[in-house]
A and B are shown apart, each in its own frame.
Chain A
């Protein structure tokens, strides 16, 4: 073998893999296509690799998908933008295959390559590709075509641009709903490229037609187009062109369309401007909040804080808040849950007094909701309210409810409260905390649900960081260590997890005086699960003790012997974990 082909030998293997029977090998090779290209060099890649890939188009979808993705990044490997058009051919084929994901990826890649083309390349290669796909027999190529107009438009010649506007219009009027849906999906992006004059003369009529399509699946997609187009117009123009359309969409007989409006309401309002919003959209929003379809109400609830930021306080209090009050007792739990997630967002907008007067009673009601997600969502957003009204007012009004929730029968609700405790602790101070919340924190260590016990130990570490090691020494450490004698191994386990969790937060002295005795005791625990967790705990304790020259000797004196004893244990797992812990200190 001559030297040149010797170098190419591993590449030959890769190329063979591209033709292999086993699909996973072909996939592998496709993912390393750039390696092959680098070895072949620009010219051979252009002249041999790309055509080879183009002819192997009938392959597994997974391979085609990977190929479509790779080609989008391939410009540098074929010698730079001046050759980029060579990648268009295989991508055009991929854009017409049956599998949607492959087509979408091909379109994505074409969108990446398009900006790299010169105007000449665009006119010579890209525009004809676009035409062929647009006039394709199968709906698959026509749907892909819709995604290629926006990026091709800016650099095209005025004649081509006029053609493109016409062809896109044809796609919007296509017989197949799939194509019209794709056109509706991409109308917004296209609209942003055509310039104001053609936006008004060509695009808005297309939009209006799609917005009245007989298929609701097409209509609902035009909502995002509306936002996109409105962003290009002045507020007066938005109002002139879209007031009627918006009104009919809000009252559309298909709830799916109303859902899309609701879900995009803030974006919509921002796009059409303040006056339009104030005069016409408030009424529309209220309609959506009272819609008879729960999903629409849920989507609208999600938009409440965002929308409220755009209107004045009086409008909120007079129009939005009454709806919010009704939604708190909505029959659908998902609506109430969505509201609970968002309602605290109103607090910063309304300010302290209005929040205290209008929102606090609603929070309390939601905290007592029978559906756990509602309760959970309120708790997770209390911080926002805290910032507005302050911890004292918050704890007076809400603390009793919070304490009740700490014993909620849904463990995820209990968990959310635990996560909130360190924050409360920081705000309330040590005395208040000890009096009201201390016992609660300890009781969680004995909860019947493991995740609660685990969270409780992490909580203790965070509290130690807030209140200090001395406080921990007096209040929590004795109780934690006492659990080490519980008859149930699952609770003795909590002690060990707590020790491991707290080690980084306490001083080496605390470990020596309080923790080590318990640890060394548990080395002889009758249950192997305890013993191997002791080994893991020791593994975590050693670095902390080594920090301090006073406590470092303890490692050799107490901990290493303990590990050695455990490494000869009769149980496999105890031996495994203790030997692992011994490795760094051998």
Chain B
């Protein structure tokens, strides 16, 4: 089969799913591409860095509308592409296609959600079953996740990773010798890199409340930067109400790119634009309005044939709308009584306890 990536990308921008066989081929080809990437990929600025997206497809489109489209703008994505949002499949599909089409313009780093264990619980597996009827697509993507790099270094100055630092890793070279081509382990350096969090109240490593990775403090950060002759650590992984957070006297930043996280946190998001001289600009944005009401096509699927909105017959949002309706789980449509909650999972912080 001749793969027309440009056509795939165009369909995906219209939020049309790719056929299962196409996804299989795209994942195969992307694995080949990623296989030759080191665990530490070196790139040059300028680049726009993106934090967690979590299946919020319309907000990914918003990122392109604000930061510019690929390939005109260089992008570095720091992981957590799937789970929690309504459109994990579309999100990871389009990012994979963009990486395959423009490998020099797009970098994808692995997040803690790019894992079989986590995606089985937090939504991606369910979404694949719902949208494709079988788990094949989930298998293709989770196999692909095993190939994603663990970190990126920009201009030999900025160390970029999804989570944070590890007590087992003092130098970049130590990252390079990890065998990353497998499911994220429960512990060890690979787990730490995708699970750890900074703690501005401490100086050293400590046990993480997440149950995986560690928290690390100011001395750890200074030592790492000094040892590796770099001046900044850039990561994602933690929700920031303002879209970003700068810690340790500007030695570490968190960038968070999922606005109104889980369609209810009400937070801002940002993308970090890094210039050739190392200039950093956090471009802050809100949730895209397209998240609020279903598109006409979705509305068609949920309407009775007489054109009366489905929600006129429901008792309000509830969690049951699932992926068929564009409104978020809190029933973002304004019809009265739309409160509903999505179950007891605290969206602000994942922990490993949910699936051990």
Which A residues are closer than 8 A to B by beta carbons? 104, 181, 185, 217, 220-221, 224, 255-256, 259-260, 293-295, 298, 332, 334, 373, 410-412, 448-451, 487-490, 493, 526-529, 532-533, 571-573
Task: Find chain B residues with CB under 8 A from A526 CB.
Answer: 276
**Separation in Å of the A188 CB from the closest CB of chain B?**
10
Q: Taking the nearest CB of chain A, how far is it from the CB of B324, in angstroms?
A: 12
Q: Quick one: which of A104, A260, A373, A450 has the most chain B CB within 10 A? A: A450
Contact flag A529-B334 (CB < 8 Å), given A488-B46, A571-B104: no
Which residues in A have their C-beta under 8 angstroms from that of B46? Answer: 488-490, 527
Q: Which of B64, B283, B334 has the most CB of A within 10 A?
A: B334
Q: A412 touches which one: B68, B73, B104, B289 (CB < 8 A)?
A: B289
Would A295 and B336 count as touching, CB distance under 8 A? yes
- Stretch of B31-39, B177-185, B305-313 on the interface side: B305-313
B65 touches A450 (CB 8 A): yes
Find out whether the CB atom of A490 lies under 8 angstroms from the CB atom of B102: no
Task: Give the distance in Å from the alpha carbon of A332 to the alpha carbon of B334 in the complex.
Answer: 10
Is B66 positioned at the interface, with any CB of A under 8 Å from its CB?
A: yes
The 10 closest A-B CB pairs, nearest first, are A450-B68, A185-B306, A451-B65, A256-B312, A449-B66, A334-B334, A104-B305, A489-B46, A217-B313, A529-B72
How far is it, in angstroms, between the C-alpha of A115 and the C-alpha of B308 when the chains are bound? 27
- Residues of B within 8 Å of A295, CB to CB, are 334-336
Q: Mark B276-306, 1 if CB is under 8 A from A, else 0.
A: 1101010100100100000000000000111
B273 close to A490 (CB less than 8 A): yes
CA distance A448 to B69 in the complex (A): 14
Cβ-neighbour of B73 out of A373, A529, A571, A573 (below 8 A): A529
List A contacts of B102 (CB < 8 A): 573
* B266 lies within 8 A of chain A by Cβ: no
Most chain A beta carbons < 10 A, residue from B73, B277, B304, B308 = B308
Let me know if A260 and B308 touch, CB within 8 A: yes
29 A-B pairs with C-beta separation under 8 A: A185-B305, A185-B306, A217-B313, A220-B308, A224-B306, A256-B312, A294-B334, A295-B336, A298-B334, A332-B334, A373-B289, A410-B286, A449-B65, A449-B66, A449-B283, A450-B67, A450-B68, A451-B65, A488-B275, A489-B46, A489-B276, A527-B276, A529-B72, A529-B74, A529-B105, A572-B103, A572-B104, A573-B71, A573-B102
Q: How many residue pairs between the two chains, A and B, have CB atoms under 8 Å in the bound complex?
A: 79
Contact indicator B74/A451 (Cβ below 8 Å) = no
Residues in B neighbouring A493, C-beta threshold 8 A = 68, 72
B159 to chain A, nearest CB (A): 22
Instruction: Report which of B66, B281, B289 forms a contact with A450, defined as CB distance below 8 A.
Output: B66
User: Looking at A490, A493, A526, A573, which has the most chain B CB atoms within 10 Å of its CB?
Assistant: A490
Contact B306 A221 (CB under 8 A): yes
Which residues of B line the A interface, CB within 8 A? Answer: 46, 64-69, 71-74, 102-105, 273, 275-277, 279, 281, 283, 286, 289, 304-306, 308, 312-313, 334-336
CB distance from A379 to the nearest CB of B (A): 15
Residues of B within 8 A of A259 (CB): 312
Q: Assess the B308–A294 pair: CB atoms within 8 A.
A: no
Min CB–CB distance A83 → chain B (angstroms): 29
Instruction: Name A490's closest neighbour in chain B (CB-CB).
Output: B68
| Contact residues of B: prevailing secondary structure | loop
Query: A450 to chain B: which residues have CB within 8 Å?
Result: 64-69, 73
Q: For residue B337, which residue of chain A has the nearest CB?
A: A255
A293 to B304, CA, bound (A): 23
How far, in angstroms, from A230 to B105 measured CA to CA in the complex?
63
Q: Which residue of A lies closest to B69 (CB)?
A: A450
Residues of B within 8 A of A449 (CB): 65-66, 283
| A487–B275 CB distance below 8 A | yes
How near does chain A come to B304, taking the closest CB pair, in angstroms? 8
A-chain residues with CB within 8 Å of residue B312 when the two chains form the complex:
217, 220, 256, 259
User: A6 to B276, alpha carbons, bound, how many Å?
Assistant: 68
Chain A residues closer than 8 Å to B276, beta-carbon distance = 487, 489, 526-527
Chain A, Cβ-Cβ closest to B283:
A448
Distance in angstroms from B65 CB to nearest chain A CB is 5
In the complex, are the beta carbons of A528 and B104 less than 8 A apart?
Answer: yes
Report the nearest A residue to B307, measured CB to CB.
A224
Complex formed: what's the CA distance from A161 to B335 in Å? 42
Across the interface, which residues of B come within 8 angstroms of A185, CB to CB? 304-306
Complex: A217 Cα to B275 Cα, angstroms: 58
Q: How far, in whole Å, are A532 and B72 apart by their CA atoms in the complex?
A: 9
- Chain A proximity of B90: nearest CB distance (Å): 20
Asked if A573 contacts B68 (CB within 8 A), the reply is: no
B347 to chain A, nearest CB (A): 25
- With both chains docked as a complex, state the minimum distance between the C-beta of A194 and any C-beta of chain B, in angstroms: 20
Which among A298, A489, A573 is the interface contact of B104 at CB below 8 angstroms? A573
Task: Give A241 to B336 CA distance when docked, in angstroms.
Answer: 32
What's the nearest-Cβ distance from chain B to residue A511, in Å? 22
A298 to B333, CA, bound (A): 13
A393 to chain B, nearest CB (A): 32
Q: In the bound complex, what is the Cα–Cα distance between A529 and B305 (angstroms)?
A: 49
CB <8 Å contact, B71 and A532:
yes
| Shortest Cβ distance from residue A536 to the other chain B in the assembled complex, whole angstroms | 9
Measured between beta carbons, the chain B residues less than 8 angstroms from A373 are: 289
Give chain B residues whose Cβ lies under 8 Å from the Cβ of A487: 275-277
Give every chain B residue within 8 A of A260 (Cβ-Cβ): 308
4 extra interface residue pairs, beta carbon distance < 8 Å, beyond A412-B289, A490-B68: A185-B305, A448-B66, A450-B65, A450-B68
A490 and B66 in contact, given A185-B305, A220-B308 (Cβ under 8 angstroms): no
Q: Is the CB of B72 within 8 A of A533?
A: yes
- Given A185-B305, A412-B289, A493-B72, are A573 and B105 neighbors across the interface (CB < 8 Å)? yes
Q: Inside 8 A of B66's CB, which chain A residues have their CB?
A: 411, 448-451
B72 surroundings in chain A (CB, below 8 A):
493, 529, 533
Identify the closest chain B residue to A527 (Cβ). Answer: B46
Closest chain B CB from A533 CB (angstroms): 6
